[in-house]
Structure 1
Amino acid sequence: MSHAAPFAAGLGLSSLRGATLAQVDAAAALQHRTDRKYLLPLDGARLLVDRLAGSHHVLDLAGRRTTSYRSTYFDTERLGAWRAHVQGRRRRWKVRTRLYAEDGLCRVEVKTKDGRGATVKHALRASAGVYGHLGEHAADFVDGVLRRAGIPVTAGALSPAAEIRYVRAALADLDHGTRVTLDGGLTCHHMDRTAALDPGHVLVETKGGTRPAPADRLLLRLGARPVSLSKYVVGQSLLTPGLPDNDVRRLARRYFTAGPRPAPLLERTPAA
């Protein structure tokens, strides 16, 4: 069963002005950005949406204001991407395939950090059938991005390590070129185990420049504080036996539950 409809209603997305994907991409594509993350109770997230209604539009895709995401993350046998993040290394990286479920669209994405700590995202469009795999074309793309970033890892050393599923609403300030995303129904999957974000909480991310955006200042006024929380790192930290304890796991234990029972697949609606 899809979480999309109750999530959209719970956030009050119908009160916002809609924007097309082209409008959002033109104003706030943000492939080079600073991300800040917050964990908010659902009522706090709804209040945030209400306060942003005057300055932000919500991405509206033919009347649909949320999208179901599935992301498969790739890592080395020794979890080099996971360890680089947990250890706070300057050369952090992530490789994933991402499926936009309702639209049947897929992208291969590589995220790295620049010298100032900002996130740089590189993406390659692919067919939906590519999701969860790194074929020859995708591998060449991944190798090129990691090589230019000075990261000594190749696609040949990577294999699927975890899958993350969630429902996302995307808000954009079209005048200032910043975005806010709100993720709910978040689950992490590794082999036969699943971890889930408490359904009463929403993961909020602001995506903009190095200086805090108006949305960040509003979040501070609402009592929220930034957290260091990677969806992939959370999944591995909670679900993979034998990994060392770390700050991410301690934070995640406050908001996530983990167990052996796999969550049901999100509904996939074929593209029109």
Structure 2
Amino acid sequence: MIKEILIKIGHIILTGDIKLYRNNMGDDIDDENNDKIYKNHYLIVVLLFVNIILAVIIPYIILPLIIIEVSVLFIKYKLPDARKNKRKSMILKQLPFMLRQLATQLKAGIGLFDAMAMIADGNYGILSDEFKITLKQIQYGTNYIQALDELSKRVDIEIFTKIINQITRTLKNGGNLADILNTMANENSENMKIKYKQYSQKLNSVMLIYMFISVLIPTITFIMIIAASMIMGPIIPPELFILLYLVFFPLIVVLMVIFIKSMEPTI
């Protein structure tokens, strides 16, 4: 009974909607998704009560503790998306080079199957692995269009889907596939030049903020604490000082690095 009440409180804290909680959860928690919601709400409510107790007993550690907990929860809930985005990023980095090689091979008179085999044998990471699967499907009797459509669904990236759609459309209706892919490769190269130029301009401003947060703030804070302590005596507990410089400030720097990394342009 108490556990159920805690779950409801957690849901209200997260969504502010008791009706949505009842609709999603119901009386039976058999659905896997609802079970995850149940556990997540319970975890957050437990952490809330623990923080309240610690705030009463050891008030000076509550702020760093909350920051650490929020960071851990953020990583926990965002990790699946981060893995998916990492896979997408790896594919997008290799895609312009793959497209250029495919266009070059076709323009040199090499057949589509052999050109895809070179991509599969090349150093294109996930794309090479996916092309190997597609080639095996074609070898086992799947027609080109169906195999390429399945390749597009497995990769599931918009720009890659456009490239595959262009290839399948050309296979159906006829046309010079080498010239079409070469045009697409040139367009992507120009787009990347523009994006990297914009990225470099943004990076200059972000780096100023990064230097301010990672160097100036910790240094100024340290000087102010030392100066105030010499005049007034200790103003913060040593434990909090250690948490600030071993946990809080390094965590802020890590988050800034992740943010800068996320700004890197892709096609």
Output the TM-score relative to the length of structure 1. 0.19
Output the TM-score relative to the length of structure 2. 0.20
